[in-house]
Amino acid sequence: MEQTTEAEFDAQFNVNVKGHYFTLQRLLPYLADGSSVLFTSSASATAATLNTSVYAATKAALNKIAQVAANELAGRKIRVNVISPGPVATELVLAAPEEVLNNFASSTALQRLGQPEELARAILFLASDDASFVTGTELLVDGGWTNYAYK
């Protein structure tokens, strides 16, 4: 917190909160009744990890916006949900040093990084009719990262 500038704070909120909010607002006239909206957040919104105060706050704000939107759009049968990944083996993550990768993996209850395909299946579920009674929900796809006691 001590090193975060106001410009960095504003930049993160502009991308992670304002960007999502106004994108949804502008899409509303084009969404058919019964549509599904899915925000990508982060398990950091639930965890209280060191050195992530602004990022975590933006993701928590996004999650709350999704919950309110789910209520506001329920009359149109539009479902709004959130997917919150934990450590996933993306190209960016895999470029990190092996020590960092091992730390990420060992910080999850399942002791490994998630695979992009696992995240994709969770996204497909929330977007599908199989989740027709799910709205205003955050689905943590984090291998137990947010509740693992031995981080």
In the numeric block, the tokens 């084009």 are attached to: 30
Picking from 54, 61, 49, the residue whose alpha carbon sits closest to that of residue 21 is: 61
- What is the number of other CB atoms lying within 10 angstroms of the CB of residue 51? 10
Give CA separation, 27 vs 20, 31, 78, 132, in Å: 11, 6, 12, 20
Give CA separation, 77 vs 21, 32, 67, 71, 122, in Å: 19, 9, 14, 10, 21
Task: Write out the catalytic residue numbers.
Answer: 55
31-72: pLDDT as tens digits: 999 999 999 999 999 988 888 899 999 999 999 999 999 999
Domains and CATH numbers, the chain: 6-147 (3.40.50.720)
Q: What's the whole-model pTM score?
A: 0.92
